[in-house]
Amino acid sequence: VVTTYDEYVSPKDGKQVVGINLHVTYVDDNVHGLKADTKFISKFMCDNLGITPEDLYPYEGHDIELELNLSGKVCGVSVLEDKK
């Protein structure tokens, strides 16, 4: 995982968007190598989960598990390995 904290204006409606972009890679049987994706966690969800970007920085390059709701939005984050 690579994390970035973004604060930008949405091109769709011009509203300010604040949250964490998680840039992740994972195994997918339909691609050669690893598949890359970006998952956004809104500030509201970060507050509910009790996480900040600083909480995730030590885990860049480590395995995490993302829990997604039926809409594909992140509703949980778990670290699968401890940083050595």
Q: Which tokens sit at 7?
A: 């604060």
Query: If 0-12 CB within 10 Å is exposed, 13-18 middle and 19+ buried, where does residue 43 land?
Result: middle
Give dist(CA 84, CA 71) in Å, integer.
34
Q: 3-class SS at 52?
A: coil
In the numeric block, the tokens 């395995």 are attached to 63
* Residue 19 to residues 8, 74, 82, Cα–Cα distance (Å): 9, 12, 24
Q: What is the pLDDT of residue 82?
A: 59
The tens place of each residue's pLDDT in the chain, 84 residues long, gives: 766 666 666 777 887 778 888 888 888 999 999 998 888 888 888 899 998 888 888 888 888 889 999 999 899 988 886 555
